[in-house]
Structures are given as C-alpha cells and as structure tokens.
Amino acid sequence: MTVPTSALPESLAKLVQRFSRVTNPKQGYEQLIWFSKRLPELDEADRSPENKVHGCTSQVYVASALTDGKVWYRGDSDSQLVKGLVAFLVEGLNGLAPDVIIALKPDFIQQTKLNASLTPSRANGFFNIFKKMQDQARSLQSESHADLNALGSLSSPPNLEPNHEAPEKVTD
C-alpha cells in the first residue's frame, strides 16, 4: 500500500511528485545524477564507521545533526546513482523533526517510479540509506531527551522549606 503524497512531509512530497512524472528509466537516472551533483561535499571527518551505511554495494556515508529540534543530514557515495538517492533523501528529510522521520515508511519510493528502474541491490541500498537516516533521527531524539532530562534535574529549584526552629544567637 502506498502512502498518498498528501500524507508525506511537504519537502518529500514535492520530490516524490517530481520523480513520479518521469516517463522512462533513463529520465529517472538523469534526475538522480542531477541531484547527486547538488549534494554538498561531505567532510572527511563524517566518513566514519558510525556514519557508514551497511548493506550497500557502494561506499555510502550519512551524517546527521539536530539543530533547534530539526534533523539535518549530509551524505555521499562513490556511485553517482546512489549519491543521487542519498541527495533525494537528504533534500526530502532535511529540516524535519525526528519523530516525523521515524514515523515515515519507505514505500513512497514506489510513487517515484524509481523502484521499477533500480537494480535489486540499489533498491536495497535505498532502503538501507533510509533506515540509517531513521536510526540517526532516533538517536538524535534520544540524546535530545536525555539532555533535557539532565537539564531538568539541574535546573530544578532546591528544596527551600522554612526552618521553624529558633534561630541561633548571633554573637560578635
């Protein structure tokens, strides 16, 4: 069952609609390559084991950060088409709240018509990239909640109950 684009976040719905107008696989590949060229360069520091997407034939990295309650992704791949898939997801998911990303189902790829033209290994790669991004959103959300809980315990006012005992005499 596919999700109507109206149920998707606006940024992702626009991309899905754009790709759904593709009339043949070659156009889909051309769009992915165009997207791959728009993806900013990934810092070498972000090419770390924790950012590596496992289960992809290509080398794929996705890094994430939480700013003002929104997730921001960066990514790269050594394959132009896979880099295009990364760019598609980065553009579609950037700026969303972690809970929105976590709640998404990957079946929106069917509406793009890309799944029909992707090889099984690339389709599996897309799923793995998407799941990695969801896992990162989940981790960022957990870290954010842990930070808030720690702040809450530190910022609680101390227990200032009045002392009704007789005050001590003050002597000089």
56 is catalytic: yes
CA-based max dimension of the chain: 95
| Annotated active-site residue in 56, 86, 101, 118 | 56
User: Distance between CA 101 and CA 131 in Å, rounded?
Assistant: 10
Question: b vs e for 107-130, b when ≥16 Cβ sit within 10 Å of the residue's Cβ?
Answer: ebbebbbbbebbeeebbebbebbb
Residue with tokens 């799923």: 127
Contact between 84 and 72 under an 8 Å Cβ cutoff? The reply is no
User: Distance between CA 134 and CA 130 in Å, rounded?
Assistant: 6
Residues designated catalytic: 56
